[in-house]
Amino acid sequence: MANPTAAMLVIGDEILSGRTRDANMHHLAGRLTVAGIDLVEARVVSDNAGAIIAAVRALSKAYTHVFTSGGIGPTHDDITSDAVAEAMGARIDVRDDALAILTAHYERQGTELNTARMRMARIPEGASLIENPISAAPGFSLGNVHVMAGVPSIFEAMLASLLPSLTGGDPVRSQTLRVERPEGEIATALGALAQSYPDLSFGSYPFISEGIYGSNVVVRGADAARLDEAYARLQAEFIEAVK
Amino acid sequence: MANPTAAMLVIGDEILSGRTRDANMHHLAGRLTVAGIDLVEARVVSDNAGAIIAAVRALSKAYTHVFTSGGIGPTHDDITSDAVAEAMGARIDVRDDALAILTAHYERQGTELNTARMRMARIPEGASLIENPISAAPGFSLGNVHVMAGVPSIFEAMLASLLPSLTGGDPVRSQTLRVERPEGEIATALGALAQSYPDLSFGSYPFISEGIYGSNVVVRGADAARLDEAYARLQAEFIEAVK
């Protein structure tokens, strides 16, 4: 059976202006591969309600899961929760369960739960909360859309809370062979090998390192025995052949 | 007048599997900000012709420019050039000008221009070439779609060749104030300030660093005098107020 599919939606002007380099996509990609969920597409949009709504609608229809990061804090540019609710046709308001979590957290800290912070208790009707062990304000899952924070440490903690509840398929394993020959020299043989293993996926990722033009050849698949066999053939073809 | 808009399309299984962390989006975002071109959206898709074609069609209709990275090498999984040609309704074949560049390059190196490498001379009809000063094989611009390599050093060199030919608007300047107070404490005042400068954009980006919950407050705009004025008010509001 095919693995469940997923898309990521990164929300934030700071990524698109080049101020910040996104880290959450790379983290999510690695975790989903292990969980047996195929990340098929990722998008980055700005803090713009129309853009978020359009992307959530398109992605939630096309894939099993959508994971979002960013835009759920207390400031005026944090509009993700309201936009996701609108995209999914859900009502949204301050919700008692989220408010109780924030109230307890700020009481422990001796900090005021002011109007701005109350925004973080806005959770769509019907959503289930995603635990935030770092700064309390929860994420949420609404339908197949999982809404998480943008700060990497919080995103990672929320994802760790969420992932065990999602059902994945077979983990995709991979093996990488570093070949110190340019892609142009190995392309024909690699293409032929890829055709003879239609159940596996072969990728070639060129690199330039200390003046050497090389290729990292990666073979991926769920069946460990087939992977080992294909990897042995890659080695024989591209490493032993040049000795 | 509004600045020209842009989207980026990153093509490659290796980003979505978590094997590689994309670097080109962050580089492009920074260069476009300086050039006065607004990066509005970015997408990452796998080495899949249908996915590339759909994304190129959607993005090239929606934005002034589309910049792609990845998938233009000599191996079987390099399908970007053909997919872009199909998306834009152009014919594609080995083109004499690109072939001449490759022939000269491999002659200089004393390397064979084999069938696999000939793939890199496949350029759509009507496209103009983008120079590759590192490994010769050119990128191309077809309509408003600019197709470049995925290897970061080559992507950056191609972008440097291309950018001077594109007309940008006013560079967007920004000033960042580091506030060592959590977003929840500054949100209300920041929102009010943002409303009083509708010509500027205010963003708040939370951080957690050595146990401190803080916010980087960024104000962006094209008018330096207005920026300075708004920044002075930010300082007065959030730094001097806590002394």
pLDDT per residue over A190-234, tens digit each? 999 999 999 999 999 888 888 888 999 999 988 999 999 999 999
For residue B11, the chain A residues in CB contact (below 8 A) are none
Question: Who wins on pLDDT, A172 or A131?
Answer: A131
Q: For residue B29, give the nearest of A18, A115, A220 by CB distance.
A: A18
Q: Are A201 and A220 in contact (CB under 8 A)?
A: yes
Q: Enumerate residues 6+ apart whose C-beta is below 8 A from B53.
A: B83, B86, B87
> Is 1.10.530 the CATH classification of the domain at A173-242?
no
Sequence letter at residue B147: V
Give A143 to chain B, closest Cα distance, Å: 23
pLDDT tens across B158-195, in order?
999 999 899 878 888 889 999 999 999 999 999 999 99
Record: contact B16-A39, CB cut-off 8 A: yes
**pTM, entire model:** 0.90
Decide if B74 and A47 are in contact by the 8 Å CB cutoff: no
CATH number belonging to the domain at A5-165, selected among 1.10.3210.10, 1.10.10.10, 3.40.980.10, 3.90.190.20: 3.40.980.10
Among residues A56, A81, A51, the alpha carbon closest in space to that of A67 is found at A56
Q: In which band, very low, low, confident or very high, does the pLDDT at B240 lie, cut at 50, 70 and 90?
A: low
- Residue-level length of chain A: 243
Distance, in Å, from the CA atom of B127 to the CA atom of A106, rounded to the nearest integer, reads 59
**% residues pLDDT > 70 (chain B):** 98
Q: Where are the domains of chain A?
A: 5-165, 173-242
- Cα dist. B50→A11, B75, B119, B139 in Å? 25, 18, 20, 21
Residue B218: CA count within 13 A, CB half-sphere:
19
In this prediction, what percent of chain B has a pLDDT beyond 90? Answer: 83
- The pLDDT, as a whole number, for residue A241 is 55
What b/e sequence results for B92-103 when a residue is b if at least 16 CB atoms lie within 10 Å of its CB, and e otherwise?
beebeebbebbb
Give B-chain residues touching A52 at CB under 8 angstroms: none
B76 and A218: CB-CB below 8 Å?
Answer: no
User: A58-117, pLDDT tens digit by residue?
Assistant: 999 999 999 999 999 999 999 999 999 999 999 999 999 999 999 999 999 898 999 999
pLDDT higher than 80, residue A242: no
- What are residue A65's DSSP bridge partners? A6
For residues B13 and B71, the answer to whether their CB atoms sit within 8 Å is no
Nearest to B125 by CA among B96, B160, B158: B96
Determine, for residues A77 and B43 on separate chains, whether the beta-carbon distance falls below 8 Å: no
φ, ψ for residue A161 (rounded to 5)?
Answer: -70, -40
Complex confidence, ipTM: 0.89
Cα nearest neighbour of A176 on chain B: B19
